[in-house]
């Protein structure tokens, strides 16, 4: 812990630490209270550690085992609300990593719950932050300190396992009386899942959060929205972050009522930051294609049954399923029989 903190607090020496309640999700995480024998530092920090073997394997398949730890080690200043990353370490042999970060509850940060949708104003603030993040690297080469970041890529080698997982997710929904939530051919959805990654690799490339679902956000003050859990940070298209965040965070009713002007606001922020942002029609087409990724992702979560609580997974899945149907995602994002991308937008 001393090693993790000494970059930000020179001369600090941790004398004692008290581990609070430990929670299991994709990772194991805990709040840790600290006392010092030299110097001063935060009273508490938040620590992420390796999770269950299945979760480690899933992160390894996504190339995400050490991403957040590498990001912490880079000391990159991210231009949006997020917990400060004090330090991280990676054990690539064991597919595990540990990250020590700011405990945002020390400044009245409140983790958001996936079962409670964000307000349009909270989403607007989050999109403003994502626009600043995206503008920081829009269309430019990665700096050396971000060499570890990967483009979005989902290997075809995982397709049989992915299809089986999606089918299992549908069976779980059926057994629990939730079969009406998703009506889609899982083979088509699996191809679209991989095609979404292909779409994210087209157009101007930039720095992405990669996994900005509602459960990876927190609130500060009345409407300010921050993002934690950067282990799926990627290089890719802006539309991946924007579509995943908007659809997964708004209630179905609020998405219908506000998605147009929220997307316009995001594009306007890019323009103000000097980015040659896409026209609204082109951006709208990419946005309409985005729910396939979220729908497949949260069916995988339902299938595994251990990454998120069932209540959070069902609430999020419902939002993506509604958007997939209402936005005509299958029409905008089609795939050939071999899973190659056929992008029908502009």
Residues 241 and 94 grouped into a single domain: no
Question: Which domain CATH number covers 214?
Answer: 3.90.1200
- At 12-28, the pLDDT tens digits run 999 999 999 888 877 78
Q: What is the spatial distance between Cα 295 and Cα 301, in angstroms, rounded to a whole number?
A: 10
Residues 210 and 335 grouped into a single domain: yes
- At 47-96, the pLDDT tens digits run 998 777 766 676 666 666 688 999 998 988 999 999 999 999 988 777 67
Which residue in 261, 315, 313 sits closest to 287, CA to CA? 261
Q: What is the spatial distance between Cα 211 and Cα 208, in angstroms, rounded to a whole number?
A: 8
Cα torsion at 101, 207, 218, 296 (round to 10°)?
-110
Domain stops at, among 102, 128, 147: 102
- At 127-183, the pLDDT tens digits run 999 999 999 999 999 889 899 998 887 878 889 999 999 999 999 999 988 888 888
Contact 44, 17 (CB under 8 A): no
φ, ψ of residue 8 to 5 degrees: the values are -90, -20
Question: Across the beta sheet with 44-49, what order do the strands follow?
Answer: 13-24, 28-38, 44-49, 96-102, 85-91
Residues 75 and 214 grouped into a single domain: no
Domain stops at, among 64, 86, 102: 102
- At 30-53, the pLDDT tens digits run 999 999 999 999 999 999 987 777
Residues 39 and 114 grouped into a single domain: no
Residues 249 and 184 grouped into a single domain: yes
Residues 78 and 120 grouped into a single domain: no
Question: Which domain CATH number covers 26?
Answer: 3.30.200
pLDDT of residue 315: 96
Domain stops at, among 72, 102, 132: 102
Residues 116 and 98 grouped into a single domain: no
Whether the pLDDT of residue 282 is over 90: the answer is yes
Q: How many domains are contained in the chain?
A: 2
- At 172-213, the pLDDT tens digits run 999 988 888 888 899 999 999 999 988 999 999 999 999 999
Residues 77 and 194 grouped into a single domain: no
Residues 161 and 259 grouped into a single domain: yes
- At 225-254, the pLDDT tens digits run 999 999 899 999 999 999 999 999 999 999
For 87, the domain range is 2-102
């Amino acid at each position: 812990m001393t090693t993790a903190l000494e970059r930000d607090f020179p001369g600090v020496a941790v004398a004692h630490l008290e581990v609070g309640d430990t929670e299991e999700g994709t990772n194991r995480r805990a709040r840790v209270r600290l006392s010092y024998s030299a110097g001063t530092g935060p009273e508490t920090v938040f620590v992420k550690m390796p999770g269950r073997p299945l979760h480690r394997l899933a992160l390894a398949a996504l190339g995400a085992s050490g991403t957040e730890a590498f990001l912490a080690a880079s000391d990159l200043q991210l231009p949006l609300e997020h917990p400060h990353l004090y330090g991280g370490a990676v054990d690539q042999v064991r597919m595990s990593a540990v990250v020590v970060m700011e405990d945002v509850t020390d400044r009245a940060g409140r983790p958001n719950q996936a079962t409670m949708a964000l307000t349009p104003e909270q989403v607007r603030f989050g999109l403003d932050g994502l626009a600043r993040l995206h503008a920081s690297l829009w269309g430019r080469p990665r700096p050396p300190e971000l060499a570890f970041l990967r483009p979005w890529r989902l290997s075809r080698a995982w397709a049989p396992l992915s299809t089986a997982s999606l089918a299992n997710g549908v069976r779980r929904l059926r057994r629990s009386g939730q079969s009406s939530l998703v009506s889609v051919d899982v083979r088509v959805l699996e191809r679209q899942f991989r095609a979404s990654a292909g779409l994210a690799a087209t157009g101007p490339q930039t720095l992405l959060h990669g996994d900005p679902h509602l459960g990876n956000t927190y609130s500060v003050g009345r409407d300010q929205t921050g993002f934690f859990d950067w282990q799926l940070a990627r290089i890719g298209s802006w539309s991946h972050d924007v579509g995943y965040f908007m659809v997964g965070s708004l209630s179905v009713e609020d998405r219908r009522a506000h998605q147009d002007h929220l997307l316009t606001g995001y594009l306007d922020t890019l323009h103000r930051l000097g980015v040659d942002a896409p026209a609204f029609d082109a951006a709208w087409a990419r946005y309409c294609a985005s729910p396939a990724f979220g729908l497949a992702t949260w069916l995988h979560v339902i299938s595994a049954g251990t990454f998120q609580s069932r209540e959070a997974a069902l609430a999020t899945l419902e939002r993506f399923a509604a958007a997939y149907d209402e936005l005509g995602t299958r029409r905008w994002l089609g795939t050939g029989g071999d899973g190659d991308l056929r992008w029908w937008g502009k």
